[in-house]
Structure 1
Amino acid sequence: MNKFYRTLLISTGAALLAAGCASGPQYKDVASAIPTLPPDHGRIYFFRPGNFGGSAIQPEIKLNDKVVGRSIPGGFFFVDEEPGEYTVSTSTEVKRDIKFTLHAGDTKYVRTTVSMGLFVGHITPTLDDPDTGPQEIDQLKYVGAPLSTAAK
Protein backbone atom coordinates (compact mmCIF):
# COMPACT_ATOMS: atom_id res chain seq x y z
CA MET A 1 0.00 0.00 0.00
CA ASN A 2 2.78 2.40 0.92
CA LYS A 3 4.38 2.05 -2.53
CA PHE A 4 0.99 2.66 -4.18
CA TYR A 5 0.45 5.96 -2.32
CA ARG A 6 3.99 7.11 -3.02
CA THR A 7 3.51 6.43 -6.76
CA LEU A 8 0.13 8.18 -6.69
CA LEU A 9 1.63 11.20 -4.93
CA ILE A 10 4.53 11.46 -7.39
CA SER A 11 2.20 11.10 -10.39
CA THR A 12 -0.22 13.71 -9.05
CA GLY A 13 2.61 16.13 -8.27
CA ALA A 14 4.09 15.72 -11.74
CA ALA A 15 0.68 16.32 -13.33
CA LEU A 16 0.15 19.48 -11.27
CA LEU A 17 3.56 20.83 -12.22
CA ALA A 18 2.95 20.10 -15.90
CA ALA A 19 -0.45 21.79 -15.74
CA GLY A 20 1.15 24.94 -14.35
CA CYS A 21 3.65 25.33 -17.19
CA ALA A 22 3.16 26.78 -20.64
CA SER A 23 1.85 24.60 -23.40
CA GLY A 24 2.20 25.69 -26.97
CA PRO A 25 4.77 25.81 -29.72
CA GLN A 26 8.35 26.77 -28.94
CA TYR A 27 9.72 30.06 -30.19
CA LYS A 28 11.66 28.37 -33.00
CA ASP A 29 8.39 26.89 -34.27
CA VAL A 30 6.56 30.24 -34.46
CA ALA A 31 9.44 32.65 -35.19
CA SER A 32 8.74 32.72 -38.93
CA ALA A 33 5.04 33.48 -38.30
CA ILE A 34 5.72 36.49 -36.05
CA PRO A 35 4.78 39.51 -38.16
CA THR A 36 7.27 42.21 -39.03
CA LEU A 37 7.00 45.17 -36.71
CA PRO A 38 5.14 48.07 -38.37
CA PRO A 39 7.51 51.07 -38.65
CA ASP A 40 5.19 53.31 -36.59
CA HIS A 41 4.89 50.86 -33.66
CA GLY A 42 7.05 49.28 -30.96
CA ARG A 43 6.91 45.69 -29.76
CA ILE A 44 6.74 44.48 -26.17
CA TYR A 45 7.58 40.86 -25.38
CA PHE A 46 6.29 39.50 -22.07
CA PHE A 47 7.88 36.34 -20.71
CA ARG A 48 8.29 34.24 -17.62
CA PRO A 49 11.12 31.73 -17.31
CA GLY A 50 9.98 28.14 -16.79
CA ASN A 51 10.82 27.34 -13.21
CA PHE A 52 8.76 25.30 -10.78
CA GLY A 53 8.37 27.93 -8.07
CA GLY A 54 4.89 29.45 -8.06
CA SER A 55 3.74 27.69 -11.22
CA ALA A 56 0.10 27.78 -10.10
CA ILE A 57 0.27 31.59 -9.81
CA GLN A 58 -0.57 32.98 -13.25
CA PRO A 59 -2.04 36.47 -12.84
CA GLU A 60 -3.12 38.76 -15.63
CA ILE A 61 -0.59 41.14 -17.12
CA LYS A 62 -1.99 44.59 -17.78
CA LEU A 63 -0.63 47.22 -20.11
CA ASN A 64 -1.99 50.67 -19.19
CA ASP A 65 -4.78 48.89 -17.23
CA LYS A 66 -5.80 46.71 -20.21
CA VAL A 67 -5.31 42.93 -19.89
CA VAL A 68 -2.91 41.72 -22.58
CA GLY A 69 -2.13 38.21 -21.29
CA ARG A 70 -1.11 36.10 -18.30
CA SER A 71 2.20 35.42 -16.57
CA ILE A 72 2.59 31.74 -17.45
CA PRO A 73 5.76 29.87 -16.43
CA GLY A 74 7.78 28.90 -19.49
CA GLY A 75 5.72 31.13 -21.80
CA PHE A 76 5.98 34.32 -23.82
CA PHE A 77 3.76 36.55 -25.93
CA PHE A 78 4.04 39.98 -27.50
CA VAL A 79 1.99 43.05 -28.35
CA ASP A 80 2.65 45.80 -30.86
CA GLU A 81 1.77 49.29 -29.65
CA GLU A 82 2.03 52.88 -30.78
CA PRO A 83 4.82 54.98 -29.27
CA GLY A 84 4.04 56.36 -25.84
CA GLU A 85 4.29 55.98 -22.08
CA TYR A 86 3.37 52.52 -20.77
CA THR A 87 2.77 50.92 -17.39
CA VAL A 88 2.92 47.13 -17.05
CA SER A 89 1.24 45.80 -13.92
CA THR A 90 0.52 42.48 -12.25
CA SER A 91 -1.48 41.82 -9.12
CA THR A 92 -1.90 39.03 -6.57
CA GLU A 93 -1.86 40.22 -2.95
CA VAL A 94 -0.17 43.41 -4.06
CA LYS A 95 0.08 45.31 -7.32
CA ARG A 96 3.54 45.53 -8.91
CA ASP A 97 4.30 47.71 -11.91
CA ILE A 98 6.99 49.21 -14.11
CA LYS A 99 6.85 52.23 -16.39
CA PHE A 100 8.73 52.89 -19.59
CA THR A 101 8.61 54.81 -22.84
CA LEU A 102 8.12 52.90 -26.09
CA HIS A 103 9.40 54.51 -29.29
CA ALA A 104 8.64 53.52 -32.89
CA GLY A 105 10.90 50.61 -33.83
CA ASP A 106 11.68 49.73 -30.18
CA THR A 107 11.52 46.20 -28.81
CA LYS A 108 11.12 45.90 -25.05
CA TYR A 109 11.34 42.70 -23.00
CA VAL A 110 9.28 42.44 -19.82
CA ARG A 111 10.21 39.56 -17.53
CA THR A 112 7.80 38.43 -14.82
CA THR A 113 9.19 36.65 -11.76
CA VAL A 114 7.72 35.12 -8.61
CA SER A 115 8.64 36.25 -5.12
CA MET A 116 7.28 35.18 -1.75
CA GLY A 117 4.12 36.77 -0.41
CA LEU A 118 2.21 36.48 2.82
CA PHE A 119 -0.52 34.22 1.40
CA VAL A 120 0.19 34.12 -2.33
CA GLY A 121 3.38 34.68 -4.30
CA HIS A 122 3.89 38.04 -5.94
CA ILE A 123 4.55 38.40 -9.65
CA THR A 124 6.89 41.28 -10.40
CA PRO A 125 7.45 42.71 -13.89
CA THR A 126 10.91 44.06 -14.77
CA LEU A 127 12.49 45.31 -17.97
CA ASP A 128 15.00 42.78 -19.25
CA ASP A 129 18.19 43.61 -21.09
CA PRO A 130 17.61 43.83 -24.87
CA ASP A 131 20.68 41.62 -25.38
CA THR A 132 19.50 38.77 -23.13
CA GLY A 133 15.73 39.04 -23.70
CA PRO A 134 15.81 37.31 -27.11
CA GLN A 135 17.93 34.48 -25.68
CA GLU A 136 15.41 33.94 -22.87
CA ILE A 137 12.43 33.87 -25.25
CA ASP A 138 14.21 31.43 -27.54
CA GLN A 139 13.79 28.76 -24.83
CA LEU A 140 10.09 29.41 -24.11
CA LYS A 141 6.69 28.49 -25.55
CA TYR A 142 4.35 30.90 -27.29
CA VAL A 143 1.18 31.52 -25.26
CA GLY A 144 -0.25 34.50 -27.15
CA ALA A 145 -2.98 34.90 -29.74
CA PRO A 146 -2.84 32.47 -32.67
CA LEU A 147 -0.34 33.42 -35.36
CA SER A 148 -0.73 32.88 -39.07
CA THR A 149 1.24 29.86 -40.24
CA ALA A 150 2.43 31.79 -43.29
CA ALA A 151 5.78 33.48 -42.81
CA LYS A 152 5.61 37.28 -42.90
Structure 2
Amino acid sequence: MRRTALKLAVLTVMTIAIAGCAVTGTKYQDMSGTIPKVKPGEGRIFFFRAATPYGSALQPLIRLDKVVVGASKSGGFFYVDRPAGTYQAATMSDLRKTLGISLEAGETKYVRMSPSFGLVTGGIVLDMEPAEKARPELASLAYTGQVIIDK
Protein backbone atom coordinates (compact mmCIF):
# COMPACT_ATOMS: atom_id res chain seq x y z
CA MET A 1 0.00 0.00 0.00
CA ARG A 2 2.75 2.40 0.97
CA ARG A 3 4.72 1.65 -2.22
CA THR A 4 1.63 2.23 -4.35
CA ALA A 5 1.07 5.63 -2.74
CA LEU A 6 4.73 6.54 -3.28
CA LYS A 7 4.58 5.48 -6.94
CA LEU A 8 1.40 7.50 -7.43
CA ALA A 9 3.00 10.57 -5.85
CA VAL A 10 6.09 10.28 -8.06
CA LEU A 11 3.95 9.80 -11.16
CA THR A 12 1.86 12.87 -10.29
CA VAL A 13 4.95 15.04 -9.78
CA MET A 14 6.46 13.83 -13.08
CA THR A 15 3.21 14.53 -14.95
CA ILE A 16 3.03 18.06 -13.56
CA ALA A 17 6.69 18.70 -14.39
CA ILE A 18 6.28 17.47 -17.96
CA ALA A 19 3.09 19.48 -18.46
CA GLY A 20 4.88 22.58 -17.18
CA CYS A 21 7.47 22.13 -19.92
CA ALA A 22 4.91 21.79 -22.70
CA VAL A 23 5.17 24.36 -25.46
CA THR A 24 2.12 26.36 -26.37
CA GLY A 25 1.84 28.55 -29.40
CA THR A 26 0.80 28.57 -33.01
CA LYS A 27 1.65 25.42 -34.93
CA TYR A 28 3.83 25.78 -38.02
CA GLN A 29 1.08 24.34 -40.23
CA ASP A 30 -1.25 27.13 -39.03
CA MET A 31 1.21 29.97 -39.54
CA SER A 32 3.16 28.96 -42.66
CA GLY A 33 1.30 31.57 -44.73
CA THR A 34 2.26 34.38 -42.32
CA ILE A 35 6.00 33.69 -42.19
CA PRO A 36 7.69 36.45 -44.21
CA LYS A 37 9.76 35.60 -47.27
CA VAL A 38 13.52 35.61 -46.94
CA LYS A 39 15.06 38.94 -47.97
CA PRO A 40 17.42 38.98 -50.97
CA GLY A 41 20.98 38.04 -49.98
CA GLU A 42 19.82 36.20 -46.86
CA GLY A 43 19.07 32.61 -45.93
CA ARG A 44 16.92 31.06 -43.21
CA ILE A 45 17.81 28.60 -40.45
CA PHE A 46 15.03 26.69 -38.68
CA PHE A 47 15.83 25.27 -35.24
CA PHE A 48 13.36 22.58 -34.14
CA ARG A 49 12.89 20.00 -31.42
CA ALA A 50 10.53 17.03 -31.37
CA ALA A 51 7.74 16.92 -28.78
CA THR A 52 8.84 14.28 -26.31
CA PRO A 53 8.84 14.13 -22.51
CA TYR A 54 12.41 12.80 -22.68
CA GLY A 55 14.59 15.68 -21.53
CA SER A 56 11.78 18.24 -21.75
CA ALA A 57 13.08 20.08 -18.69
CA LEU A 58 16.30 20.88 -20.62
CA GLN A 59 15.65 24.21 -22.33
CA PRO A 60 18.98 25.94 -22.94
CA LEU A 61 19.31 29.11 -24.97
CA ILE A 62 20.71 28.73 -28.48
CA ARG A 63 23.43 30.99 -29.85
CA LEU A 64 24.28 31.68 -33.45
CA ASP A 65 27.82 33.03 -33.37
CA LYS A 66 27.66 35.25 -30.27
CA VAL A 67 23.97 36.16 -30.46
CA VAL A 68 21.21 34.35 -28.56
CA VAL A 69 18.53 33.51 -31.15
CA GLY A 70 16.09 31.32 -29.19
CA ALA A 71 15.62 28.48 -26.74
CA SER A 72 15.43 24.73 -27.22
CA LYS A 73 11.95 23.75 -26.10
CA SER A 74 10.37 20.35 -26.53
CA GLY A 75 7.77 20.50 -29.30
CA GLY A 76 8.90 23.90 -30.53
CA PHE A 77 10.64 25.65 -33.38
CA PHE A 78 11.99 29.06 -34.26
CA TYR A 79 13.88 30.48 -37.19
CA VAL A 80 16.41 33.19 -37.95
CA ASP A 81 17.28 34.94 -41.18
CA ARG A 82 20.93 35.81 -41.75
CA PRO A 83 23.07 37.10 -44.61
CA ALA A 84 24.80 34.38 -46.63
CA GLY A 85 27.88 33.14 -44.78
CA THR A 86 29.18 30.63 -42.26
CA TYR A 87 27.85 30.53 -38.71
CA GLN A 88 28.52 28.59 -35.52
CA ALA A 89 25.49 27.39 -33.50
CA ALA A 90 25.80 26.25 -29.89
CA THR A 91 23.74 25.85 -26.76
CA MET A 92 24.48 28.17 -23.85
CA SER A 93 24.88 25.08 -21.67
CA ASP A 94 27.87 23.84 -23.71
CA LEU A 95 29.55 26.47 -25.86
CA ARG A 96 32.43 24.10 -26.71
CA LYS A 97 30.23 21.89 -28.90
CA THR A 98 29.38 23.91 -31.97
CA LEU A 99 27.63 23.16 -35.24
CA GLY A 100 29.00 24.89 -38.32
CA ILE A 101 26.30 26.12 -40.70
CA SER A 102 27.15 27.33 -44.19
CA LEU A 103 24.25 29.42 -45.49
CA GLU A 104 23.74 30.54 -49.09
CA ALA A 105 21.46 33.38 -50.20
CA GLY A 106 17.88 32.09 -50.55
CA GLU A 107 18.75 28.78 -48.86
CA THR A 108 16.89 27.24 -45.91
CA LYS A 109 18.70 24.99 -43.43
CA TYR A 110 17.22 22.88 -40.63
CA VAL A 111 18.86 22.22 -37.26
CA ARG A 112 17.47 19.49 -35.01
CA MET A 113 17.84 20.06 -31.26
CA SER A 114 17.86 16.72 -29.40
CA PRO A 115 18.26 15.91 -25.71
CA SER A 116 21.26 13.78 -24.82
CA PHE A 117 22.22 12.41 -21.43
CA GLY A 118 25.71 11.59 -20.27
CA LEU A 119 26.91 9.94 -17.11
CA VAL A 120 26.30 12.99 -14.92
CA THR A 121 24.44 15.67 -16.87
CA GLY A 122 22.18 16.15 -19.84
CA GLY A 123 22.37 18.57 -22.70
CA ILE A 124 21.00 19.45 -26.11
CA VAL A 125 22.81 18.29 -29.25
CA LEU A 126 22.53 20.28 -32.48
CA ASP A 127 22.55 18.41 -35.81
CA MET A 128 21.82 19.38 -39.42
CA GLU A 129 18.69 17.69 -40.77
CA PRO A 130 17.79 17.27 -44.45
CA ALA A 131 14.76 19.32 -45.56
CA GLU A 132 12.78 16.25 -46.65
CA LYS A 133 13.01 14.85 -43.12
CA ALA A 134 12.62 18.15 -41.21
CA ARG A 135 9.64 19.72 -43.01
CA PRO A 136 7.04 17.03 -42.17
CA GLU A 137 8.05 17.09 -38.51
CA LEU A 138 8.06 20.89 -38.38
CA ALA A 139 4.35 21.04 -39.32
CA SER A 140 3.15 19.88 -35.88
CA LEU A 141 5.57 21.95 -33.79
CA ALA A 142 4.70 25.22 -32.01
CA TYR A 143 6.43 28.52 -32.75
CA THR A 144 8.63 29.63 -29.83
CA GLY A 145 10.42 32.57 -31.47
CA GLN A 146 9.66 36.27 -31.49
CA VAL A 147 6.12 37.21 -32.40
CA ILE A 148 5.72 37.88 -36.11
CA ILE A 149 3.96 41.16 -36.88
CA ASP A 150 2.59 41.70 -40.38
CA LYS A 151 3.35 45.20 -41.63
Q: Is the pair's TM-score, using the shorter chain for normalization, greater than 0.5?
A: yes
CA RMSD of aligned residues (A): 2.1
Distance in 2 between the 1:92 and 1:117 partners?
14
Q: Quick check: 1:34 aligned with 2:27?
A: no
CA deviations on 1:50-94 (whole Å, 9 max, x unpaired) are 111111111111001211011101000000000011111114367
1:122-137 aligned within 5 A: 122-137=123-138
- Match in the other structure for 2:85: 84
Distance in 2 between the 1:120 and 1:13 partners?
18
Distance 1:136 1:13, change over 3 A: same
- Match in the other structure for 1:143: 144
Q: Quick check: 2:49–2:77 contact (8 Å CA) kept in 1?
A: yes
Contiguous gaps of at least 5 residues in structure 1: none
Distance 1:64 1:93, change over 3 A: closer
Q: Quick check: 2:44–2:106 contact (8 Å CA) kept in 1?
A: yes
CA deviations on 1:17-65 (whole Å, 9 max, x unpaired) are 0111211111122212110111211000000111111111111110012
- Match in the other structure for 2:105: 104
Distance in 2 between the 1:140 and 1:66 partners?
23
Distance in 2 between the 1:5 and 1:15 partners?
16
- Match in the other structure for 1:58: 59
Q: Quick check: 1:92–1:121 contact (8 Å CA) kept in 2?
A: no
Contiguous gaps of at least 5 residues in structure 2: none
TM normalised by structure 1 equals: 0.88
- Find the residue that maps to 2:97 and give its secondary structure: strand
Identity within the alignment, %: 35
- Find the residue that maps to 2:136 and give its secondary structure: helix
Cα shift at 1:6: 5.7
Cα shift at 1:100: 2.1
Number of aligned residue pairs: 150
Q: Quick check: 2:63–2:92 contact (8 Å CA) kept in 1?
A: no
